[in-house]
Every structure is written in C-alpha cells, then in structure tokens.
Amino acid sequence: MYPNEFRYTREHEWVSIDGDTATVGITDHAQDQLGDVVFVELPQLGVRTQSMQSFGTVESVKAVSDVYSPLTGQVTEVNETLVDAPEKLNESPHGDGWLIKLQIEDRTEIETLMTAEAYQAYIDAEKES
Amino acid sequence: MIRKVRSHQTQNEPLLFERSSPGKKGYQLPPLDVPSVAPAEALGVANVRREIEGFPEVSEVEIIRHFTRLSTWNYAIDLGLYPLGSCTMKYNPRLNEFVARIEGLAQAHPYQPEELAQGAMRVQVQLEQYLRETTGMDEVTLQPAAGAHGEQTGILLIRAYLEAQGDARRKVLIPDSAHGTNPATAAIAGYEVEEIKSNDQGMIDLEALERAVDDSVAALMVTNPNTVGIFEKDIAKVAEILHERGAQLYMDGANMNALVGIARPGDFGVDVMHLNLHKTFSTPHGGGGPGAGPVAVKKHLAPHLPVPRIEESNGTLRYCYDRELSIGRVRAYFGNFGVLVRALAYILAHGGDGLRNATIDAVLNANYIRKGIGDRYELPYTAPSMHECVFSDDRQARSGVRTGDIAKRLIDYGFHPYTVSFPLIVRGALMIEPTETESKQELDLFIDALRSIADEVESDPELVRSAPHTTRTKRVDETRAARRPVLHWKAPVEEKQAAD
C-alpha cells in the first residue's frame, strides 16, 4: 500500500526524494479520512517551507485541513492540475495527486520521518485507539 | 417505523424560470395619461438596460403560490427537534417576541437623544448586569453581532492588554477539538495558531499544555464544556498554568447552555469569554438570526472594552466615549438591540431558578439520548456528557455506512440531521444536542428513529447509503456541487434551438 521508497509524517504527508528534489503529497489514509476533496490551496513558487509547518490546505466535503511540509526547502514546482481536478488527490494520492516539489536544504531532516513500515504501524495504532 | 409528519417535504417546485410562458404578467398598470416616450431615445442607448433573456413571465397567483410553497419547506425548531450539536437550537419562547414588539423598544432609534432613550439604555445595563452575574465576570460589552465577532473582540482585548504591558506576544494555543472559528479569530488578530492535542478522555492534555506555554503565548482559547460535550474538569489548573506565564484564558461560550446557573467561568479562571445569546438565551438562530455575541471580561481587561460604555449618575444613564485604552467600536450603534431585548426577556421570565432548571434539563435530555442509543452507536469518549453527546460511526462504517448517510436517513424519519463529522477528533462524528425544550415523547421518537436506522444498517445498508428517499430531491452529489458549482440558471439549449 505505502511505497517503501517514500518517507512519511505523523500528519499523513509523504515525501519522495530524487537527488535534491523532494516531492510531497498526502497519504492514501489521509485522503480516505478526508473524503472527497473539492479544493486545494497551494503555495506560490519560490516560497520557503519549514519542516512541519503548514504550506497549504486541502478542503473536502467534510473539513478543511492544513498540509504540513515534511522538509524545509524552497518550492520549485506546484501541481497546477489539482486546481481543476482536485479529485486526483482521491484517485491517485501517491502519484498524480502530488502537491509540491521542494529543493531540499537539510538532509538530516529526512531521518526524522517514518518509513513505510513505521507509518503503517502508526495508522494501525490510530485505528485501534 | 416512520411516525413523524413529513408533508412539508414531499411536493417539488419548479424554478420560476421553468414556469414562465411568454406574455404573462403579474401586474396591471393604468393607461398612460402622458405621451409615450422611447427610453433609448430619451436617455441614450447606453443608459437603457437590455432585455434580460429568459426573464420569467408569470401571473400573480403563480408567484404567490411559488413562494408560499417554498416557505413551507423550512425545517424549523417550531416543527420539531433540531438536534444540531454545538449549535443549541432551542425553542424561542413567544414571550420574547411579544416584548421585542413593545412600541418603545421596537421603535427606538439609535440617534434618539439620551434623555429619551433611558428605557432602551436600561435594557442594556440590566442585561449586562445579568450576564455578569451568570458568568462571574466583571464587565460586559453587548456590541459584537455574533459568536465569531465576540471571539475577535475578545482576542483584540487580550492583544490590547498585553500591548499595554509592553509585549503583544506571538502565539495563541487552541485545542484540536475547537470550533473552526477559534483559529480563524486568532489568525485575523495577527497571532500564530498552535494546536494542543486532546488526551484519551477528550480533554486538554495538561502536560502538552505545560510544554507549550511560554512567554510567546498570548492566550489559550478553550470551549468548556468542549466540543465533545465534556466538561474540562482541570480548567482551574489550565488557568493557573497560563497565568503563571502571563498568558490569558479565553473561553468560547458556545456551550454555556450546560453551565448557566451551575458553574461560572469567572470562578474557574477565565479572563475573557463570549456568550451566544442566540444559543444560550433563546434568541432566534439560523436564517441569519441576527445573532449577538456579548463579551465578558475580568477587571484587568475592562479598560480596553469597546466604546461607548454606559455610565449612570443620579439615576440618569449616558453613553461614555472617554476611554483612552479602548479598542474602539466593534460595531455601529449598540449591537443587535432587538436580540438583546429578547435575551433579557428570557432571563427575566426564567429567573435564577428557571435558568438553572433549563441547564439541568438540557444535560438530562442529552444523557437520555446517550443512554437511549448508547448500545447501538460507538461512544469514543466515555466521560460524563453535558448538554450534548458525540458518537462515532465506527460500527456502521463496517457495513459501509457513514455518519453522513445516517444523517440523510434521519431526514426520512422527519428529523433535522445532527451535526455531521464534527468535532474532527472523533472519526465519523454524530454530534447530538437536544436542548432542554424537548419533551420525553419527542426524545423517544428521535431515539427510536436512530435505533431503527441502526437496524437498517445491518439488514439493508444500501437503504441508508442511498437516503433520503421521501424528500422532493433525492441524494444530491455534494462533491460535484462543491467542485463544479452551477450558480445561475441557464436556458436549456435544445429548446432554444427548436424554437429557432
């Protein structure tokens, strides 16, 4: 379910690392909890996100939620296609539904994130509580 | 079995546009007694409005029936239980309406000279006094027009107070169970918002709070009882933790219906709070209200209250604007005066004992429902419920039925839905607040309806998933409506082509 090459946050974002570029999105569990996403608010290009600070919002039929950046870095790309097709977040949260790309500043932050296995255990525990 | 009358929801109604036939008129004018003039010639083409395409043409009786039928579609507290949790949809006694229509109050004008407005001013002074007494606070402003406006006023007061001490500080702490208006208020007032996680009993985690409070924290905004309907029993300790570091305690008074006459926020350490007169004090709610969100403060915040304040000397009241540290007006004139009158009527009609009884009945009714359906729906937090109870759809979700589906099915049973999917800390929340005004018979009907729906979830989940079935309009596609809203009517294309 959760790709092994990704890293995960406790706020249910994933990050995929390719060289100095990090791609960020929300997890399948997050989209399932939110329900049908109707609107996505993304940052401007060039904005610097801080690790675990909100960089945008996702609005579903149920609620508006902040999305947190797994890493610190400058936003180099945002997924413009989500403006007209927010349903991609539900249909392909780990693929076409990605949110932003970042220029990684501090690689040590990656170590603080969860592996796929740890994330799976984290949401299993959450479900039981 | 469905036992409530639902005639108000069965006949559908076309749009006036769809009723239109060319040449019909809803009016009749006398023949011209002056020469006719072409407007475009007299005023210039640019100043004359073009014909509006597709403008409906209907007769008088068609218009009357259209709007009269629409007016019967409302679900209202006057039709039955309105269990929207957190909203306190209580009955508005007719006495309030009678008092609000007394000529001297209904016809009062904000620019009336003070000596001719003493009665209207006395209403404000008296209401302030009763609200001080109810909350245990020192001073009250009646200006804010609703709850969120009260929140904003309250946080601006805290900001002004801290600024006067030399540092407005940077952050406002808000529990994860809070109303969404709380973080919005803090952000609008220029503060960063930091979330405080709830513990496994649905209450503020004191250790997490202690870690979070430092000299950068201006205030904690807390709702008590909180949005899970649980009294924050450590509230005095919470206040202490904040006060030790010079931070303030703001209380969102949305849930005061559980406290009036029993406990006073001023006694458990609150520095500033708002009240929703349209919730707790039975003034109209919904349909635009209007609301009223008075703010009550402790002495140290009072110098910053909005002007004017009312002062009395030798039995004469006057408006006083001379407050150097005031944050200024937050609303034109004196708040929603008609609403203030109704709230005062409610307070005077009940008296202290009556208000206390209303609180006890509100809590009793919520617990009656909790007990009545508690074996069929999951209760995530088991601490005693106050004026509302919050269930989760966990059990029903196993059959693929979610809280939104159960709410839609409840419409078939003749009830307004409960609050759906809030608070967010409960998965698939069903948030139910009956208020004190419901009889045992009405509560039993509601409990029967929810029990019956729980049976249906097991025997025929699709019936619930596809509800409502008895309404004019069946299940609407909410997702599509939000993603691609159609905001105005367009003439159907094929008809136009046929006519061409």
Domains, chain B, ordered by start = 7-71 (no CATH), 94-349 (3.40.640.10), 360-483 (3.90.1150.10)
- Predicted local confidence at residue B500, as pLDDT: 47
- Distance CA(B427)–CA(B394), nearest Å, equals 7
User: Are B274 and B293 contacting, i.e. CB atoms less than 8 angstroms apart?
Assistant: yes
Phi, psi of B116 (to 5 degrees): -100, 0
Q: How far is CA B10 from CA B7, B83, B165, B406, in A?
A: 6, 22, 62, 20
Peptide linkage before B294 cis (omega within 30 of 0)? no
Alpha helices for B72-180 (secondary structure H): 94-100, 103-106, 118-135, 147-164
Count of CA atoms in the C-beta half-sphere (13 A) of A21:
7
Interface contact B180-A64, CB threshold 8 A: yes
B464: how many CB neighbours lie within 10 A of its CB? Answer: 24
Which amino acid is residue B128, in one-letter code?
E
Task: Give per-residue pLDDT as tens, B330-361.
Answer: 999 999 999 999 999 999 999 999 999 999 99
Interchain CB contact of B421 with A (< 8 Å): yes
Extract the tokens encoding A91: 């249909």
Q: Where are the domains of chain A?
A: 6-124
- Measured between beta carbons, the chain A residues lying within 8 angstroms of B422 are 63
Angle between helices B337-373 and B440-459 (to 10 degrees): 50
- Residue-wise pLDDT for B361-412, tens only, equals 999 999 999 999 999 999 999 999 999 999 999 999 999 999 999 999 999 9
Residue A119 in tokens: 């994330």
Closest CA to B276 of B264, B302, B294, B288: B294
Tell whether the model's pLDDT for residue B3 goes beyond 90: no
Task: Give the minimum alpha-carbon distance from B483 to chain A in angstroms, rounded to a whole number.
Answer: 5
Which chain A residues are closer than 8 Å to B180 by Cβ? 64
pLDDT digits (tens, 9 = 90+) for B431-454: 999 999 999 999 999 999 999 999
Q: Is the bond into B468 cis (omega within 30 degrees of 0)?
A: yes
Pair of tokens at residue B421: 């999917």
Mean pLDDT of chain B: 93
| Structure ipTM | 0.74
**Would you say B246 and B105 are in contact if contact means Cβ atoms under 8 Å apart?**
no
Best B176, B402, B479 residue to mutate vs chain A (most A CBs within 10 Å): B479
Does the beta-carbon distance from A33 to B427 stay under 8 Å? yes
Q: Tally C-beta pairs within 8 A across A and B.
A: 21
Mean pLDDT of chain A: 94
Q: Is the whole model's pTM more than 0.90, yes or no?
A: no
Instruction: Please say whether the beta carbons of B146 and B289 come within 8 A.
Output: yes
Model pLDDT for residues B285-321, shown as the tens digit of each residue: 877 779 999 999 999 999 999 999 999 999 999 999 9
Joined together, the tokens standing for residue B134 give: 């109810």
Peptide bond just before B113 cis, omega within 30 deg:
no
Residue A129: per-residue pLDDT: 60
Contact A38 B200 (CB under 8 A): no
Phi, psi at B420, each rounded to 5°: -100, 135
pLDDT number for residue B71: 84
Cα(A123)–Cα(B271) distance, integer angstroms: 39
Does the pLDDT at position B55 exceed 90?
no
Percent of chain B with pLDDT strictly greater than 90 = 82
CATH code for the domain defined by A6-124: 2.40.50.100
User: Any residues with CB less than 8 A from the CB of B176 and at least 6 apart, and which?
Assistant: B195, B196, B197, B198, B424, B425
Say if the Cβ atoms of B483 and A129 lie within 8 Å. no
Rounded CA separation B448/B4 (Å): 11
Q: How far apart are CA A22 and CA A102, in angstroms?
A: 5
pLDDT at residue B41 greater than cutoff 60: yes
Beta bridge partners of A88: none
Say how far apart CA A76 and CA B461 lie, in whole Å: 47
Q: Is B219 buried (19+), middle (13-18) or exposed (0-12) by CB count in 10 A? A: buried
Maximum distance among all alpha carbons in chain A?
40
Go through A74-90 and write b for each residue having 16 or more CB atoms within 10 A of its CB, e for each that does not: ebeebbeebeebbbbbb
- Residue B483 forms contact with A (CB below 8 Å): yes
Which residues of chain B neighbour A61 with C-beta distances below 8 Å?
478-479, 482
| Residues in contact with B482: Cβ distance below 8 Å, sequence separation at least 6, in sequence order | A36, A38, A39, A61
Nearest-by-Cβ selection for A63 from B421, B479, B483: B421
Q: B295 to each of A14, B271, B292, B401, B438, how far by Cα in Å?
A: 43, 11, 10, 41, 29
Stretch among B59-68, B139-148, B348-357 having the lowest mean pLDDT: B59-68
For residue B224, pLDDT beyond 70: yes
User: B245 near B274, Cβ under 8 Å?
Assistant: no
For B145-173, write each residue's pLDDT tens digit: 999 999 999 999 999 999 999 999 999 99
pLDDT of residue B225: 96
In this structure, the strands spanning A73-78 and A48-49 are: antiparallel
pLDDT for residue B272: 98
Does residue B494 register a pLDDT over 70? no
The region of weakest confidence among A15-19, B76-80, B466-470 is B76-80
B271 membership: H or E segment, kind and range: none
pLDDT tens column, B355-371: 999 999 999 999 999 99
- Identify the pLDDT of residue B50: 83
B478 touches chain A (CB under 8 A): yes
- Report d(CA B244, CA B230) in Å as an integer: 25
**pLDDT tens sequence across B76-127:** 898 899 999 999 999 999 999 999 999 999 999 999 999 999 999 999 999 9
A37: which strand partners? A60
